[in-house]
Amino acid sequence: MVVEIPDVLTKSELAEVRRIIDAAELVDGRETAGELAAQAKRNLQLPQEGQAAREAGEIILKALGRNPLFNSVALPLRVLPPLFNRYEVGMAFDAHVDGAVRAMPSGGPRMRADVSSTLFLTDPADYDGGELLIEHAYGTSSVKLPAGSMILYPAGSLHRVSPVTRGARTSAFFWTQSMLKDDGLRSLLYDLDMAIIEVRQQLGHDTHGTLSLTGVYHNLLRRAIEL
């Protein structure tokens, strides 16, 4: 499923992340791409294990930890520390699928990449092009979000970034290993979770029915979860 999460960062967090990235030196993004992706990728990236990426990444990981929507959509088990890229005029990333396995930094364990995330860090008025295009069962989504907002999509979906034609687009991106590897099941449980929240808010209190549905949600999760 493709889900937008608005306002992941506060205004001051966004400003701080941008200040850190804009002061750092970016390198050719192909250095961190696999052989196939390297042919498709034309962008700039912050060095993966540099101090700037670590500092800016920590702000984002903290913001994710307090975001109930991210937790409901992704059901995260492991989150790879965020990476940062910039597309300047003429830069793009052709159609590709993200690799299934990533290594945690500093020789940490490997993880399965289930969910891909792009957190937009540039005001859309400041650049043209640079849309993230994600193919899915119902067509192609064209995504360009306000700075501080994020899109989640299956790592296995075909996606690309269209060429930037004015200005520059800076973003954070990262992968999550979910407690549920099946995207369809994760999507159903997310729908159930959101429906329960909606009914409870409309009623203003719990009933036997809402408690029972909450039990169904957790018991389905308990049966399906892999830790």
Please answer whether residues 53 and 17 qualify as being in contact, where contact means their C-beta atoms are separated by less than 8 angstroms: no
Two structure tokens written together for 198: 């909606």
Residue appearing with tokens 């005029």: 89
Q: Which is nearer to Ni ion, 98 or 193 (CB)?
A: 98
Closest CA to 99 of 42, 36, 45: 36
Stretch that binds Ni ion, among 90-98, 144-152, 179-187, 194-202 (CB under 5 A): 90-98
Stretch that binds Ni ion, among 38-46, 67-75, 91-99, 178-186 (CB under 5 A): 91-99
Count the helices and strands in the chain (H runs, E runs).
6, 17
Query: Which residue of this chain has its Cβ atom nearest to Ni ion in the complex?
Result: 98
Cβ 91 to Ni ion, closest distance in Å? 14
Residue appearing with tokens 């995260």: 76
What does the alpha-carbon distance between residue 210 and residue 143 come to, in Å, rounded to a whole number?
34
What does the alpha-carbon distance between residue 173 and residue 84 come to, in Å, rounded to a whole number?
6
Give the number of residues in contact with Ni ion, rule: CB under 5 A: 1
Encoded one letter per residue, x for contact with Ni ion by CB under 5 A and - for no contact, window 45-84 reads: ----------------------------------------
Stretch that binds Ni ion, among 54-62, 92-100, 119-127, 133-141 (CB under 5 A): 92-100
Cβ 11 to Ni ion, closest distance in Å? 28
Q: Which is nearer to Ni ion, 36 or 216 (CB)?
A: 36
- Residue 124: CA atoms inside 13 Å, Cβ hemisphere, count? 10
Cβ 180 to Ni ion, closest distance in Å? 21
Cβ 54 to Ni ion, closest distance in Å? 22
- Is 98 among the residues that bind Ni ion (CB under 5 A)? yes
Packed helices 11-23 and 51-65: angle between N→C axes, nearest 10 degrees: 160
Stretch that binds Ni ion, among 28-36, 94-102, 125-133, 208-216 (CB under 5 A): 94-102
What does the alpha-carbon distance between residue 23 and residue 46 come to, in Å, rounded to a whole number?
11
What's the maximum distance between 2 C-alpha atoms anywhere in the chain?
A: 58
Cβ 146 to Ni ion, closest distance in Å? 21
Give me the residues that bind Ni ion (CB under 5 A), please: 98
